[in-house]
Chain A
Amino acid sequence: MNKLITILASCCIATSVWASEAKLETVKVGLDVPTVERGVGVMMDSCHSCHSMKYIKYRDLVTFGIDKQKVDAWRGDQPLDATLLAQMSDSDAMAAYGKAPPDLSLMAKARDGGASYVYSYLLGYYVKPDGMPGNHLYPETKMPDILGMSGATDAAQRTEIQSKARDIVSFLAWAADPEEQERHRLGYYVLAYLFVLTFLLYLVKNQIWARLK
């Protein structure tokens, strides 16, 4: 028994040590059209030149409810069914950064912590003592501080950057899992149906078993 307590205790200690490694700022994404629309806007201005989103078509944005005129402005002369490919080719990006920027379609699902990881990463820039920009969450990053977090000095500026980051992350969360709202909506119907069905099956079972003396 003593051995058991020792093991359990050491498990608890080890878990807490392990958990403190990653410090993520949690963010609650908004999957409403205005937030996602603002997110696409920031993405188009700040990320799209290097990062592709190859699983998202311009048509998907329109279907979701984003203003058609804005989408038309973003896509230029590309067809509506074109995917959001980066303006920079992978080889140019390799030459510029030494590393191809990752596709962002699934980014909100591809890191431990999900959307909160991306949010914390975007806000994690700071100026190192040698004057170079660094990132708390991902020190090896090659991406410049796009939102300007490391240079932001006053609180109002930081809040603005935070809300911008939240908009991007909300869009990325939608892009990684566009069916989420539909899935939840259907899920409630399925669960309601199953609760009724299971209750009826319970009554049937009881009625049949009542025959036994």
Chain B
Amino acid sequence: MPNRIIKWIDHRFPLTSFVKHELTGYPTPRNLSYLWNFGFLAGFVLMLQVATGIFLAMHYKADIALSFDSIQHIMRNVNYGWLLRYMHSTGASAFFLVIYIHMARTLYYGSFRAPRELLWWTGQGLLLLLMATAFMGYLLPWGQMSFWGATVITNLFQATPFYGDQVVIWLRGDYTVGDATLSRFFALHYLFPFLIIGAVVIHLVALHSVKSSNPSGIDLAAKDNIPFHPYFTAKDFYGLGIFLIVFSVFVFFMPNSLIEPANNIPANPMQTPKHIVPEWYFLPFYAILRSVPNMVGGVVAMGLSVMLFAFMPFLDRSRTPGGGRYRPVYRIQFYLFLLVILVLGWVGYVPPTDLTIIIGQVATLLYFGSFFFVPFISKAEERWLMKRGLPAEVTALIESETLEIAKRKLNPRRRKGEVA
């Protein structure tokens, strides 16, 4: 009976061939490390945010007179409302953590290089959408930090040439962040996740066209590719279990560690908090904004600091496989870059003093320098590696894989992408 139903469907819809092409026959490099789990985890967190968000929206009121109270209503009166809300607020942090690790993996292993540029750029678009969604969602509880964060960030659009002031009013729907702003941010905060889902589909189509990169950085021959299902579904679910343990520790035992105390005070436009800080995932970019003395310059620097990742396929000019794995200089650059980001995050968190301003400016220069010097360093490093010779294991691997690929081309019955 089930077979007949599937047959019936297959006549009308490519179900079996889709499953075969994208899951049971989708070739995946068998040497992927656990760092390749984070794309799946990001997809999971997205679903979690959509699911909890829809239920929160059923009890939330997007009205400046009611929104703060409605959050407390969710926390105190709605059955397991506290669980929904803490899962959603912790989920935002989890989303960024997972995405940042996903990006760090791509940068370390050079996965953004040809032929995966479009995959990387759709990911960059997803990052921007995620940041916009998180920013708008943060206004909804209508706490002090919500209000002042939104005020500071919408103010930055004053940097728009000629129409700065009008753009700010257009974004807020009012002269200050107010009811109009809250309503539209709520509407858009509900819309954007669905745009993200659409963009994720494009990201996945791009992925399934170029296939996953792998730690060796070499295109593996068929013998080293295994089907996604069951091997990587099993591995991804195991990784999901570990993720959920960490996630639950935060949700059940320290959910307020991710909520700024000032956001438990209702928004008060007449009283600026002593010290306005964004959520942890925006801190490095916020530090870059504050490090440039000129406002327009700061906004441009902050925008660039997010967008520069898109240029990596052009900036990295080395053809040595495996990214940081076989490139000692690039590896050092990568870790220094991580360190610079951590320092910037710390600078963004503490109240500014003369010392932190200088540290922030140095770190900002190092941040941009890390990108600026990539083309020269990567080229020089490649030349040096060529002269010195790649490690024997890489050379052997390249040779054996080239041989396999050549053999496969001679044999017409073994189609490309088919699993051996």
Partners in one complex: yes
What's the minimum C-beta distance from B232 to chain A, rounded to whole angstroms?
10
Task: Report yes or no: A109 in contact with B264, Cβ–Cβ below 8 A.
Answer: yes
| A109 in contact with B238 (CB, 8 Å) | no
Given contacts A184-B252, A190-B252, A204-B234, contact A55 B72 (CB under 8 A): yes
Q: How many residues of B contact A (CB 8 A)?
A: 44
- Could you say which residues of chain A place their CB within 8 Å of the CB of B251? 187
CB atoms of A187 and B343 under 8 A apart: no
- Asked whether A209 and B245 contact (CB < 8 A) given A18-B351, A111-B261, A187-B253, the answer is no
Bound-complex Cα distance A205 to B239 (A): 10
Q: A112-B261, A184-B253 are in contact. Are A209 and B231 (CB under 8 A)?
A: yes
CB interface residues, A 174-213, toward B, < 8 Å: 176-179, 183-184, 186-187, 190-191, 194-195, 197-198, 201-202, 204-205, 208-209, 212
**Contact indicator A105/B72 (Cβ below 8 Å):** yes
A110 at the interface (CB under 8 A from B): yes
Complex Cα gap A18–B352 (Å): 10
The proximity string for A residues 9-38 relative to B, scoring 1 for CB distances below 8 Å and 0 otherwise, is 011011101100000000000000000000
Inter-chain CA distance A191–B253, complex, in Å, is 11
**Does the CB pair B248–A4 fall under 8 Å?**
no
Rounded to whole angstroms, the CA-CA distance of A39 and B238 in the bound complex is 46
Task: Check if A197 sits within 8 Å of B261, measured CB to CB.
Answer: no
- Tell whether A94 is near chain B: CB-to-CB under 8 Å: no
**A residues in contact with B82, CB < 8 Å:** 179, 183
How far, in Å, is A191 (CB) from chain B's closest CB? 6
Instruction: Tell me, in angstroms, the Cα distance from A190 to B384 when the chains sit together.
Output: 53
B355 lies within 8 A of chain A by Cβ: yes
Interface flags for B211-238 (1: CB within 8 Å of A; 0: not) read 0000000000000001000110011011
Asked if A212 meets B30 with Cβ closer than 8 Å, knowing A14-B359, A109-B261, A191-B252, the reply is: yes
Q: Are B363 and A18 in contact (CB under 8 A)?
A: no
Q: How far is the CA of A186 from the CA of B76 in the complex (A)?
A: 16
A208 in contact with B231 (CB, 8 Å): yes
CB proximity to B under 8 Å, residues A86-133 = 102, 105-106, 109-112, 114
Interface flag for B187 (CB, 8 Å): no
- Are B245 and A11 interface neighbours, CB within 8 A? no
| Minimum CB distance partner of A196 in chain B | B241
Contact A208:B234 (CB < 8 A) given known A7-B363, A190-B252, A194-B244: yes
The interface bits of chain B over 340-383 (1 if a CB of A lies within 8 angstroms of the residue's CB, else 0) are: 00010010001101011001001100000000000000000000
CA distance A195 to B405 in the complex (A): 43
- Closest residue of chain B to A114 (Cβ to Cβ) is B261
Given contacts A55-B72, A179-B82, contact A14 B241 (CB under 8 A): no
B248:A109 contact, CB within 8 angstroms: no
Q: Which residues of B contact A177 (CB under 8 A)?
A: 256
Q: For the complex formed, measure the closest distance between the CB of A37 and the CB atoms of chain B, giving whole angstroms.
A: 20
Interface bracket on A:
35 or more
Residues of B within 8 A of A60 (CB): 76
CA distance A190 to B86 in the complex (A): 15
Judge whether B362 and A194 touch: CB under 8 Å: no
- Of B238, B252, B265, which contacts A183 at CB under 8 A? B252
Q: A11-B346, A114-B261, A208-B234 are in contact. Are A178 and B76 (CB under 8 A)?
A: yes
Report how far A55 CA is from B255 CA in the complex, Å.
20
Contacts between the two chains (Cβ within 8 Å), count? 105
B235 to chain A: closest residue by CB: A205
Chain A interface mostly helix, strand, loop or mixed? helix
Chain B nearest CB, measured from A54 CB (Å): 8
Is A7 a contact partner of B343 (Cβ separation < 8 A)?
Answer: yes
Is A212 in contact with B226, judged by CB distance below 8 angstroms? yes
Q: Given A10-B359, A106-B264, A212-B226, decide whether A194 and B248 contact each other with a Cβ distance below 8 A.
A: yes
Q: Are A187 and B264 in contact (CB under 8 A)?
A: no
In the assembled complex, B307 has its CB within 8 A of some CB on chain A: no
B241 and A110 form a contact (CB under 8 A): no
Cα-based distance from A106 to B256 in the complex (angstroms)? 12
Query: B410 at interface (Cβ–Cβ under 8 A)?
Result: no
CB nearest to A207 among chain B residues: B234
Given the contacts A18-B351, A209-B234, A191 and B248 also touching, CB distance less than 8 Å: yes
Q: How far is the CB of B222 from chain A (nearest CB, A)?
A: 14
Q: Determine the chain B residues whose CB is within 8 A of the CB of A13 once the complex forms.
A: 355
Nearest CB on A from B337, distance (A): 12
Give the residues in chain B near A195, CB-CB below 8 Å.
245
CB distance from A130 to the nearest CB of B (A): 26
Q: Which of A109, A114, A205 contacts B234 (CB 8 A)?
A: A205
8 Å CB contact of A202 from B238, B249, B253, B355: B238
Smallest CB separation, B209 vs chain A (Å): 25
Inter-chain contact B75/A179, CB cutoff 8 Å: yes
Q: What residues make up the interface of A, taking CB atoms closer than 8 Å to B?
A: 3-4, 7, 10-11, 13-15, 17-18, 55, 60, 102, 105-106, 109-112, 114, 176-179, 183-184, 186-187, 190-191, 194-195, 197-198, 201-202, 204-205, 208-209, 212
Q: What are the 9 tightest A-B residue pairs by CB atom distance, in nearest-first order?
A: A187-B252, A198-B241, A110-B264, A205-B234, A106-B264, A201-B238, A205-B238, A208-B234, A109-B264
Identify 12 new A-B residue pairs, CB closer than 8 A, beyond the known A187-B252, A191-B249, A205-B234.
A4-B336, A106-B72, A109-B259, A110-B262, A110-B265, A177-B256, A179-B82, A183-B255, A191-B248, A195-B245, A201-B240, A208-B231
Q: Interface residues, chain B, CB within 8 Å of chain A? A: 30, 69, 72, 75-76, 82-83, 86, 226, 230-231, 234-235, 237-238, 240-242, 244-245, 248-249, 251-253, 255-256, 259, 261-262, 264-265, 336, 339, 343, 346, 350-351, 353, 355-356, 359, 362-363
- Between A and B, 16 residue pairs with Cβ closer than 8 Å are A4-B336, A11-B343, A11-B346, A14-B353, A15-B350, A55-B76, A106-B72, A106-B264, A106-B265, A109-B256, A110-B262, A183-B83, A183-B252, A194-B245, A201-B241, A208-B230
